[in-house]
A and B are shown apart, each in its own frame.
Chain A
């Protein structure tokens, strides 16, 4: 123990002896470790964190890949292979024998009124088996159970999320038994979920849970309980004790196949033989559910893995710098080491002493790294889109602190081991004697130093290239013609139906809101749409189009939207033929539609489809196409523009929620509070949802691209800086080591230019070798990142060339100072240099 304390004391003394060098080493480590800790925190929160429930490993998620004929409704809980019909859920729940039970959950938009305040939030509709399958206990009251969700329309109860109960209701224990208004329905609060439990879906943090049997009340106009061709329910289950995933899969598939064959196959009509064969062969796939069920996880896995790889490379570069620094220190202390060895110190003792210094550096770097991590996480949090801020908490929990500690120790061993072994090599005493008492750098150390600096160049080039790829990709995105002009447009949503408005009242509200907004000073025009523009939402429908043949396996699906009068003028989509909707296109007038160019092309409507007829899948051709608009982005900036038709929302009596578009004459940001006030003036209890400018909405739509580019570029610049420092350090040290040799060369006639070029040739060789390694690594990274790149290849030659050129110039810049210093050496002094 005293030896350890002695080593620590000595280590402190040595580190304090050269505070600048120690400071640079700690700063390098802090940046490297901090960046890793921050990205690991993201990974932990988004990809690794298990559900806070007992035995989460027993949970399994259900998927059913293959045809889902009929309507599908998917959300951020999972993709469209993971949704089931309600009858299928009931069948499986009844027939299964391998699970404790099967649970159902589906999200919904909830307007919650409590204590005189109304807010728009996420809610979750769940089966009575949901909480029992999870096995959690309430913080207060009780949770939803099987008796609450037995009959359609029954179970008028709600369970509150702990955070909502504490934040919005002041943690009032008396809330149990009181009523809360959810989407206009009065529900009894029966309990509060346990603290820290926020559902099972990343990115969906419900404020409350209600029985799924209330779906028709929560989503007015929805009817789908009895429909086997309506897929919307997400399922998960808990394995019975002793049952493996494979056994459960075999067992549940027996029942699933029987239901498919005996019940669902006879219901299918108009299916081709091929699709029918696929439908009959459908299998249930069980996936581990310990992390919950979320489509967001799949979307962020590659970017996060990529960023983690990048930060690890940055840390490796920092380690290489410190390793080189320690090698130089070791050379300077070889006399001391030789004396210690001569006095009988064992190599193990000396190595442990030197490793203690490395560990101390690592610990100090790790501690400083925690600060860097917090700052980085706060930075990430600041640029997150509004809707993602609840998913991610910028804090360091024990897992991240533990990871940081492990990384600091591993890093210390990584950068400290070779220098420690080299500084205590067995031939040290004899080599020093041969050198007349002066330390010898040693060829091995020189090779190690050069190899490290070369590797740094390679890694930095790979990172620069990856940053270049992401930057170019983002530039490709920003150059896209979205087909809309929305620089001065504000958007927001209102859902009067969720506040209990009947459809007719909703329509009146919408018209009054449009009138009031249009009359507001600073507003140029106003319109609305059911599907938000470039907001990540998709609505699709099978259509019939005049002259377009129908048949099995014929793709007759189109995206659609319901929009208000003046929509195209407000969002800047040019009308190419015909006209756009007016207030006269309302209920009771002939049904009309406007289509985009992609729709006209897909359904072979020619250059001017105005006057042609179509329908929404009921074979009636009851809608007249009255306009053709230019193609414009629909759901996502990066998606291809889909075939799309628009109908006037005023011809649909059931519309209860709309997204609004307000074109302003001045700065749209300044109008945001004005818009809020106008809505409040009509109904102060109606929440304004997602109020922001359209440029903000578009930026949020490509947030992941901006995030990856920003961080890849930051880390690449950091890596380049570290590599340049490392290269400079190696060359400066090499020049110092070669002073006498340089003196000899000068004596033999080498001029300043030749000495400079001698050093720069060394840099050039390192650039060539490191560059080759870096280019190969860059191509590999490019391949991994391909899915994140937009309209470009991961091995884009110009990006690789520019990255190589930039790094080459930086490396030459780093080498220039030592080269100039070498060329200015006084040969007389250099020849005397020992």
Chain B
């Protein structure tokens, strides 16, 4: 049951410590954050500040060393790997800097992949895949392999893969990092369109040009949240 009165994401006192060769690295310390439904949040900061670690925790790819995490009102900080995988599949969509399309699968199969993990019926999968690909303007490339696409096209397919499952939240990790400025802009516009359509987005970026596409920016420094401010919407 989804509640509309509570934040979609709520972090309280989140910590992440990495232990390597008797060295403790505090990647995140005392992070408190709430993200409302429909928000477009940019997570910014210099390299090594903990942006990607925070995104990994938000995406349930990793577990916090301390603190609490509620996703859609449910505590998710200490779930089993299988349960975290189920939630990732149903509630979260990922967009990576390196696209991370699977080279042996066609465009269609890449987008279809998360839906197959749900055990969704083929007919519904097809409808969702085609709808997602149309949204990103890649429906004419369904039979192509990633290697046959440009970087911008690959990232659009990655976006389609992220939204095909209609997740609660989209997590984007430097989505323009591997793209030239033209393609980078195109992908940012795509995210903005999705946001306008109601999608909740958390995007890691270190590029202030793209930070402005979000309506809220969080700044991290040495693993701590040092800023949280609202931004003005950039016209489409």
A interface residue numbers (CB < 8 A to B): 740-741, 743-754, 826-828, 831
Closest to B164 in A: A748
- A750 adjacent to B96 (CB under 8 Å): no
- B81 adjacent to A752 (CB under 8 Å): yes
- A745 adjacent to B113 (CB under 8 Å): yes
12 A-B pairs with CB atoms under 8 Å apart are A741-B102, A745-B102, A745-B113, A746-B85, A749-B88, A749-B89, A750-B89, A751-B81, A751-B82, A751-B117, A827-B62, A828-B61
State the CA gap A780–B113 with chains docked (Å). Answer: 42
State the CA gap A747–B89 with chains docked (Å). Answer: 8
**Residues in B whose Cβ lies below 8 Å from that of A744:** 96, 100, 102
State the CA gap A701–B103 with chains docked (Å). Answer: 62
Closest to B55 in A: A828
State the CA gap A747–B96 with chains docked (Å). Answer: 10
- B82 adjacent to A748 (CB under 8 Å): no
**Residues in A whose Cβ lies below 8 Å from that of B86:** 749, 751
Contact A828/B102 with A749-B86, A751-B86 known, Cβ cut-off 8 Å = no
Q: Is residue B40 contacting chain A, with contact meaning CB distance below 8 A?
A: no
State the CA gap A740–B97 with chains docked (Å). Answer: 13
- B82 adjacent to A753 (CB under 8 Å): yes
The 9 A-B pairs with the shortest beta carbon distances in the complex, nearest first, are A749-B89, A751-B85, A748-B114, A744-B100, A751-B82, A749-B88, A827-B61, A749-B117, A747-B94
Taking a contact as CB atoms closer than 8 A, the residue among A747, A749, A750 that contacts B90 in the complex is A749
Contact A828/B81 with A744-B102, A749-B89, A749-B90 known, Cβ cut-off 8 Å = no
A-B contact count (CB 8 A): 60
- A828 adjacent to B117 (CB under 8 Å): no
- A750 adjacent to B100 (CB under 8 Å): no
Q: Is residue B106 contacting chain A, with contact meaning CB distance below 8 A?
A: no
Give chain A's interface secondary structure class.
helix
- B113 adjacent to A748 (CB under 8 Å): yes
**Residues in B whose Cβ lies below 8 Å from that of A749:** 85-86, 88-90, 92, 114, 117-118, 165
**12 new A-B pairs (CB below 8 Å) besides A747-B61, A831-B96?**
A745-B117, A746-B88, A748-B94, A749-B85, A749-B86, A749-B114, A749-B118, A750-B117, A751-B81, A751-B85, A752-B85, A831-B61
User: Contact residue range for chain B?
Assistant: 20 to 34
State the CA gap A826–B85 with chains docked (Å). Answer: 12
Q: Is residue B65 contacting chain A, with contact meaning CB distance below 8 A?
A: no
- Tell me, rounded to whole Å, the shortest Cβ–Cβ distance linking B172 to chain A: 12
Q: Interface digits, B158-202 against A, CB 8 Å rule (1 contact, 0 not)?
A: 000100010000000000000000000000000000000000000
- A754 adjacent to B117 (CB under 8 Å): yes
Q: Is residue B131 contacting chain A, with contact meaning CB distance below 8 A?
A: no
Q: Is residue B59 contacting chain A, with contact meaning CB distance below 8 A?
A: yes
State the CA gap A688–B229 with chains docked (Å). Answer: 109
Closest to B103 in A: A741
Q: Is residue B29 contacting chain A, with contact meaning CB distance below 8 A?
A: no
- Tell me, rounded to whole Å, the shortest Cβ–Cβ distance linking B97 to chain A: 10
Closest to B83 in A: A751
State the CA gap A746–B113 with chains docked (Å). Answer: 11
Taking a contact as CB atoms closer than 8 A, the residue among B62, B114, B118 that contacts A828 in the complex is B62
Q: Is residue B139 contacting chain A, with contact meaning CB distance below 8 A?
A: no
State the CA gap A745–B96 with chains docked (Å). Answer: 12
**Residues in A whose Cβ lies below 8 Å from that of B56:** 828
Q: Interface digits, B66-87 against A, CB 8 Å rule (1 contact, 0 not)?
A: 0000000000000001100110
- Tell me, rounded to whole Å, the shortest Cβ–Cβ distance linking A264 to chain B: 79
State the CA gap A753–B80 with chains docked (Å). Answer: 12
- Tell me, rounded to whole Å, the shortest Cβ–Cβ distance linking B108 to chain A: 15
**Residues in A whose Cβ lies below 8 Å from that of B100:** 740, 743-744, 747, 831
- B89 adjacent to A748 (CB under 8 Å): yes
State the CA gap A744–B183 with chains docked (Å). Answer: 22
**Residues in B whose Cβ lies below 8 Å from that of A827:** 61-62
State the CA gap A740–B94 with chains docked (Å). Answer: 14
**Residues in A whose Cβ lies below 8 Å from that of B102:** 741, 744-745
Question: Within residues 93 to 123 of chain B, which ones have a CB less than 8 A from any CB in chain A?
Answer: 94, 96, 100, 102-103, 113-114, 117-118
State the CA gap A747–B118 with chains docked (Å). Answer: 13
**Residues in B whose Cβ lies below 8 Å from that of A741:** 102-103
- Tell me, rounded to whole Å, the shortest Cβ–Cβ distance linking A720 to chain B: 30
- Tell me, rounded to whole Å, the shortest Cβ–Cβ distance linking B107 to chain A: 15
Closest to A748 in B: B114
- Tell me, rounded to whole Å, the shortest Cβ–Cβ distance linking A544 to chain B: 83
State the CA gap A29–B88 with chains docked (Å). Answer: 48
Contact A747/B81 with A740-B100, A831-B96 known, Cβ cut-off 8 Å = no
State the CA gap A754–B89 with chains docked (Å). Answer: 12
Taking a contact as CB atoms closer than 8 A, the residue among B59, B82, B103, B165 that contacts A747 in the complex is B59
Closest to A750 in B: B117
State the CA gap A752–B88 with chains docked (Å). Answer: 13
State the CA gap A588–B116 with chains docked (Å). Answer: 97
State the CA gap A829–B90 with chains docked (Å). Answer: 22
Closest to B89 in A: A749
State the CA gap A591–B121 with chains docked (Å). Answer: 91
Closest to B61 in A: A827
State the CA gap A828–B88 with chains docked (Å). Answer: 13
Most chain B CB atoms below 10 A, which of A743, A748, A751: A748
State the CA gap A624–B82 with chains docked (Å). Answer: 89
- A748 adjacent to B61 (CB under 8 Å): no
State the CA gap A744–B162 with chains docked (Å). Answer: 11
State the CA gap A754–B116 with chains docked (Å). Answer: 10
**Residues in A whose Cβ lies below 8 Å from that of B90:** 749
Closest to A743 in B: B100
State the CA gap A831–B96 with chains docked (Å). Answer: 9
Closest to A740 in B: B100
- B61 adjacent to A750 (CB under 8 Å): no
- Tell me, rounded to whole Å, the shortest Cβ–Cβ distance linking B28 to chain A: 13
State the CA gap A662–B85 with chains docked (Å). Answer: 77
Closest to A745 in B: B113
State the CA gap A431–B132 with chains docked (Å). Answer: 32
- Tell me, rounded to whole Å, the shortest Cβ–Cβ distance linking B104 to chain A: 8
Most chain B CB atoms below 10 A, which of A745, A747, A753: A747
- Tell me, rounded to whole Å, the shortest Cβ–Cβ distance linking A827 to chain B: 5
State the CA gap A608–B61 with chains docked (Å). Answer: 89
**Residues in A whose Cβ lies below 8 Å from that of B61:** 746-747, 827-828, 831
- Tell me, rounded to whole Å, the shortest Cβ–Cβ distance linking A748 to chain B: 4
**Residues in A whose Cβ lies below 8 Å from that of B81:** 751-752
**Residues in A whose Cβ lies below 8 Å from that of B165:** 749
State the CA gap A827–B94 with chains docked (Å). Answer: 13
- B85 adjacent to A750 (CB under 8 Å): yes
**Residues in B whose Cβ lies below 8 Å from that of A748:** 88-89, 94, 113-114, 117, 161
State the CA gap A831–B53 with chains docked (Å). Answer: 12
Contact A747/B88 with A752-B81, A828-B61 known, Cβ cut-off 8 Å = yes
State the CA gap A211–B82 with chains docked (Å). Answer: 90
**Residues in B whose Cβ lies below 8 Å from that of A753:** 82
- Tell me, rounded to whole Å, the shortest Cβ–Cβ distance linking B138 to chain A: 17
**Residues in A whose Cβ lies below 8 Å from that of B59:** 747
State the CA gap A749–B117 with chains docked (Å). Answer: 7
Closest to A746 in B: B85
**Residues in A whose Cβ lies below 8 Å from that of B82:** 751-753
State the CA gap A751–B60 with chains docked (Å). Answer: 12
- Tell me, rounded to whole Å, the shortest Cβ–Cβ distance linking B67 to chain A: 17
**Residues in A whose Cβ lies below 8 Å from that of B62:** 826-828
State the CA gap A564–B116 with chains docked (Å). Answer: 83
**Residues in B whose Cβ lies below 8 Å from that of A743:** 100
State the CA gap A153–B226 with chains docked (Å). Answer: 122
State the CA gap A199–B185 with chains docked (Å). Answer: 94
- Tell me, rounded to whole Å, the shortest Cβ–Cβ distance linking A24 to chain B: 30
- Tell me, rounded to whole Å, the shortest Cβ–Cβ distance linking A751 to chain B: 4
Closest to A830 in B: B61
**Residues in B whose Cβ lies below 8 Å from that of A745:** 102, 113, 117
State the CA gap A746–B85 with chains docked (Å). Answer: 7
State the CA gap A436–B197 with chains docked (Å). Answer: 37
State the CA gap A744–B110 with chains docked (Å). Answer: 11
Closest to B82 in A: A751
**Residues in A whose Cβ lies below 8 Å from that of B88:** 746-749
State the CA gap A751–B94 with chains docked (Å). Answer: 16
**Residues in B whose Cβ lies below 8 Å from that of A752:** 81-82, 85
